Amino acid sequence: MPAFHIWTLGCQMNVADSLKLAAGLERLGWTEAAEYTEAGLVVINTCSVRQHAEDRAYGRLHTLRQRREAGAQFQIAVMGCMVGPKTDDLQRRFPFVDVWARPQEFDPILAKAGVVRDASEGEFWTETFATPTGPTAYIPVVHGCDKFCTYCIVPLRRGRERSRPIVDVLAEVRHLAEHGVREVTLLGQTVEAYGHDLGGADAGADLATLFEGIERIDGIARTRFLTSYPKDMTDRIIDAVADLPKVCEHFNIPVQSGDDAVLARMRRGYSVAEYEERVARIRSRMPDVALATDVIVGSPGETDEEFRNTVGLLERTGFDVIHVAAYSPRPGTFAYRNQPDDVPTEVKRERLQVIEALHAASAGRINARLVGRSVEVLVEREQEGRLTGRIRGGQLVHFDGYRNLVGNLVDVSVTEATPWSLQGQQAGALSFSVV
């Protein structure tokens, strides 16, 4: 039986794409090899958001080329965000790669690998769902991005926003629930853009419509969503998060900078005041909401004062989690062509450390407030008698327990907290049982 192996780099969207490709190959009779050395088809699912991620893909390609030169017979496919509409340059640099496939375009991989499928059997990919391996799963609901922030390569690789029909998304959620999934995370580069491009029976639908549909699916206990974009976040979506019991009160809203001039240079499409207004609206409906954000330091032209404004915003808001990255120019973007990467590496490193310290202090304070309280944990895994799961706000919790609790909601009393996780003890009876 032919075997494949997939290396996945990057974000949850890539993880979901890899699972879908694997599900498609398995449907056609292939099996997944545990090691790439046992596979007749090796796929690298790439990420281009930072140079570091691309370097890892180059490292994998180097490994595969050496294996090929040593005489091994296998196909090499590269998919994901490194692959744009034109592949001439990539083909020149990596002539040993057999097939290039843009994000979510799986057919070229199947065709090149010699996989034959009968088109008369109807739509293939929309009916291909990954088999879940645990109680949580990611579901892409809107592909691509229409925002064109100056530093970002994603819209150039993943294309314009395309929402999946409601019926497809809900069919996938039902499939996952039937296979033991208790928590789904709806994914989009800007997930609140869901529905903007839909017509026909789905015209007028939005992310809240999906939340409402998932509320009615038995077995699903929690719904999450990633990643938020302030300008697309309507009051209706915020109200749905506040009112629907399954939707977790947890927002990841990248701000990127706390300075209006920097936001304008990034073409983020909102001001600091507009961002803060959305956060205020969320907190007015959900005072205990968990908030995460993303920040880029050292973007082109960022002055000390502009950086201090970012620090000020982060201190005022008090985020549970701050993801921070130093700016790295991505070839092909507007910033790469027009905005010199003029902040010295040392300054970027210092600013990175400042934000990391801020994150540790802020998350440490927020998590410390949970000590002594009982929290609801969805148990995700067990290792040597130690269970790990997440609370509704997204924090990881570790506590002692048994394997048969995986997939259950358990009340846990928090005993210790760090900025990165919580420790606890099981407090009472199961609040939701599937075993």
Residues that bind ligand SF4 (CB under 6 A): 145, 147-149, 152, 154-155, 189-190, 229
Which residue, 189 or 339, is less far from ligand SF4 as judged by CB?
A: 189
Residue 15, token pair as written in the block:
């993880």
Do β-strands 409-417 and 396-400 pair in parallel, antiparallel, or remain unpaired? unpaired
Sheet order of strands, 41-46 included? 31-32, 3-8, 41-46, 75-80, 99-101
Nearest approach in angstroms of CB 254 to ligand SF4 is 7
| Shortest CB 152 distance to ligand SF4, Å | 3
**Burial status of residue 260 (CB atoms within 10 A of its CB: 0-12, 13-18, 19 or more):** middle
Angle at 183 between CA 246 and CA 414, to 5 degrees: 80
Q: How far is the CB of 252 from ligand SF4 (least distance, A)?
A: 12
Q: CB-wise, 45 or 257, nearer to ligand SF4?
A: 257
Pairing of strands 321-326, 374-383: unpaired
Q: To which residue do tokens 């609801």 refer? A: 376
Indicate the residue type of 421: S
Taking the C-alpha atoms of residue 352 and residue 215, their distance in angstroms, rounded to an integer, is: 40
Residue closer to ligand SF4 (CB basis): 230 or 401: 230
DSSP assignment string, 365-393: HHHHTTTTSEEEEEEEEEETTEEEEE-TT
Q: Choose among 115, 132, 133, 123: nearest CA to 165.
A: 123
**Cβ pair 165, 199 in contact under 8 A:** no
The span from the CA of 160 to the CA of 154, in Å, is 10
Q: Closest distance between ligand SF4 and the C-beta of residue 66, in Å?
A: 34
Q: Closer to ligand SF4 by CB, 7 or 334: give it.
A: 334
- Residue 65, CA distances (Å) to 61, 75, 198 in order: 6, 11, 43
C-alpha count within 13 angstroms, C-beta hemisphere, residue 334: 12
- Which residue, 5 or 278, is less far from ligand SF4 as judged by CB? 278
Q: How near is the Cβ of 158 to ligand SF4 at its closest, in Å?
A: 8
Question: Nearer Cβ to ligand SF4, position 61 or 187?
Answer: 187
Residue (147 or 179) nearer to ligand SF4, CB: 147
Query: Which residue, 147 or 381, is less far from ligand SF4 as judged by CB?
Result: 147
**Cβ nearer to ligand SF4, comparing 227 with 426:** 227
> Taking the complex as a whole, how short is the minimal distance between the CB of residue 266 and ligand SF4, in angstroms?
8
Considering the complex, what minimum distance in angstroms separates the CB of residue 226 from ligand SF4? 11
Least separation, in Å, of the C-beta of 80 and ligand SF4? 14
Dist. CA 167–CA 188, nearest whole Å: 17
Question: What's the min distance (Å) between Cβ of 255 and ligand SF4?
Answer: 11
Q: Toward ligand SF4, which CB reaches closer, 11 or 409?
A: 11
Nearer to ligand SF4, 82 or 149 (CB): 149
For residues 257 and 266, the answer to whether their CB atoms sit within 8 Å is yes
* Separation in Å, CA 319 to CA 11, 272, 290, 399: 21, 15, 8, 25
Return d(Cα 211, Cα 103) in angstroms, integer: 26
Report the nearest approach of ligand SF4 to the CB of residue 386 (Å): 36
CB of 145 to ligand SF4, least distance (A): 3
Which phi-psi region, left, alpha or beta, contains residue 318 (left: φ > 0; alpha: ψ -120 to 50)?
left
d(CA 157, CA 331): 12
